[in-house]
Amino acid sequence: MERAYEGLKMFDPYEIRKDFPILERKIRGKPLVYLDNAATTQKPRSVINALRNFYERTNANVHRAVHTLSYESSQLYEESHKKVAKFIGAKSWQEIVFTRNATEAINLVAYGWGLHKLKKGDEILITIMEHHSNFVPWQMLRDLKGVNLRVLDIDDNGKLRLDKLPELLSERTKIVGVVHVSNVLGVKNPVNLIVEEARKVGALVLVDASQSVPHMSISVSELGCDFLVASGHKMLGPTGVGFLYGRRKLLEEMEPFNYGGDMIETVTIEKSTWNELPWKFEAGTPNISGGIGLGAAVDYLDGVGLDGIKNYEGLLVDYALEKLKDLSGIELYGQKDGERLGVFTFNLKGIHPHDVAWILDEEGIEVRSGHHCAQPLMRRLRIENAVRASFYLYNTKEEIDKLINALIKVQKLFGN
């Protein structure tokens, strides 16, 4: 039964769609139905214009000169840090470090904190549903430092085995890495509870919020985490820019990840000292236009309203669940009800996921097929690949209907 959602009177996905020029495109002569939002989202005109305006009017390096263009670009770039800080409820904009993406942000913590703080016998705890970006850096530390990497499993409904958490945590646990929302299962994990348990043994917590920040209001203060990472391109921003939030005390104690220009305070033949936060971690010429574009994406999301986005997507989730469950010969992974986001991963019996995705593309429907950068989770689900359809604020019920009809067409083509 469809749940009732408040606060949707002002939310009009059909008006929102007008802000995204790519949605006017046709694929193989058919209207584009973009359902690969968990991989990357489309960009509104305001973000595209922010990038163009920077290069047409303000292009200059930041923090390098006193001339007008450098001053203006530095102001815009720093203002974007402030926008992101406010967006996620950070206490200070200096707790926001711009990176290339969430992957680099996690590597920054692994190298800047883990490489210098961890010792043999220490433990890192992650979950089986982590994206490779929150798996591989910790494996690197395991191999370099001789630390132990422990993994929290899921149950058959795709939920974390929180009952196993106390036995996996100990005084040897130094950091817990957990995804806020799974990019495969769409399940939202209880970060507050995990933080609470981690605190009991003195462990830090890093949250991968790549799939949650674009879809719901996030407050790092309320979550209680020590680090939080996200990618700009998954939240309507440009590619090549993301961010790390870190508690100020931790960032001040950490070593730089990259070394070179702009991250220094002084350089002599004998030694160098580091710049203030966040520039200590932003060596060299940064992705200035990307950072400004990320700020424009935050402005757009603030303008639409995260609560409205979350509630509208809730309606899409309910609608899609009912339609998918009625489809015969489908294996849908993860919980079938309860709180989840618009990420649906599935297989059609007897049909390879790549074949499904290829035929859907013939209908103008863009989905993802493969292991979704989550091979440990795939093995836990006893599969190698799957199809994934993921929704965002500009998707509609009509597009879900097109997806269902196209899946039925796929089954007929394969004689199912």
Residue pair 4/358 in contact (Cβ under 8 Å)? The answer is no
Q: Which of 373, 378, 406, 410 is catalytic?
A: 373
Using left for φ > 0, alpha for ψ between -120 and 50, and beta otherwise, residue 127 falls in beta
Sorted by sequence, the CB contacts under 8 Å of residue 82 that are 6+ apart come out as: 93
Burial of 412 per CB tally in 10 Å (0-12, 13-18, 19+): exposed
Residue 24's identity, in one-letter code, is E
Per-residue exposure over 333-354, b if at least 16 CB sit within 10 Å of its own CB, e if not: bbbeeeebbbbbbbbbeebebe
Burial of 382 per CB tally in 10 Å (0-12, 13-18, 19+): exposed
Sorted by sequence, the CB contacts under 8 Å of residue 133 that are 6+ apart come out as: 102, 103, 106, 208, 373
State yes or no: is 225 an active-site residue: no
CA-wise closest residue to 369 among 349, 391, 384: 384
Alpha-carbon distance of 308 to 7, in angstroms, equals 6
CA distances from 313 to 195, 232, 348 (A): 27, 20, 24
Alpha-carbon distance of 347 to 318, in angstroms, equals 19
Structure tokens at 151: 């993994």
Using left for φ > 0, alpha for ψ between -120 and 50, and beta otherwise, residue 262 falls in left
CA 243 to chain centre: 10
Alpha-carbon distance of 146 to 123, in angstroms, equals 9
Is the CA virtual torsion 280, 282, 283, 286 positive or negative?
negative
Which are the catalytic amino acids? Answer: 373
